[in-house]
């Protein structure tokens, strides 16, 4: 006889939050008691699924960036030709509008790509105290005064 599968139950155990899944498999349909309980650690599988999602998102953003930048480059090139061939003020103004908006779109693409790269960075704690102290000194030196800026290292 074929064993039947009962519902799965998910739960979390331990301080580190390991996520487990319990599956109950009935031994025989004719038996009134007894089952095999299979415990699976889902923590690594869920982490792997998350990594795959992020990798897919990275590929998607890279492809979108490429598909946006190609026509954007052509638009900017055409605006440059328009500017070179027509010396009137209206054509120069229109090509300037095209250039500035194409640049805005390029910044948007850069921001999306930067978000994608951010997920692959290794984060490290940084002691900001020396930098803040140096900044404060430079700030006061540039302003020519010592007033108006107070540093309280024990405040958070």
- Strand, coil or helix: 23: strand
Share of the chain above pLDDT 70, in %: 78
User: Which pLDDT score is estimated for 102?
Assistant: 92
- Answer yes or no: are the C-beta atoms of 41 and 18 closer than 8 Å: yes
Q: Phi first, then psi: give them for residue 102, nearest 5 degrees.
A: -65, -40
- Closest CA relative to residue 38, chosen from 68, 9, 80, 81: 9
DSSP state of 154: T
On the 0-12 / 13-18 / 19+ scale of CB atoms within 10 A, 15 is exposed
- Closest CA relative to residue 24, chosen from 44, 49, 53, 4: 4
Look at the pTM and tell me if it is higher than 0.85. Answer: no
Confidence of residue 14 (pLDDT cuts 50, 70, 90): low
User: Which pLDDT score is estimated for 104?
Assistant: 92
């Amino acid at each position: 006889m074929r064993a039947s599968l009962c519902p799965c139950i998910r739960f979390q155990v331990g301080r580190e939050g390991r996520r487990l899944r319990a599956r109950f498999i009935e031994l025989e349909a004719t038996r009134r008691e007894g089952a095999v309980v299979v415990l699976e650690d889902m923590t690594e599988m869920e982490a792997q699924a998350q990594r795959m999602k992020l990798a897919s998102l990275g590929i998607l953003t890279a492809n979108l960036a490429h598909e946006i930048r190609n026509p954007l480059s052509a638009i900017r090139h055409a605006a440059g030709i328009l500017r070179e061939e027509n010396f009137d003020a209206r054509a120069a103004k229109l090509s300037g509008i095209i250039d500035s908006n194409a640049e805005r779109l390029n910044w948007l693409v850069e921001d999306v790509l930067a978000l994608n790269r951010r997920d692959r960075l290794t984060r490290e704690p940084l002691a900001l105290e020396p930098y803040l102290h140096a900044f404060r000194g430079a700030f006061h030196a540039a302003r020519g005064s010592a007033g108006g800026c107070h540093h309280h290292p024990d405040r958070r």
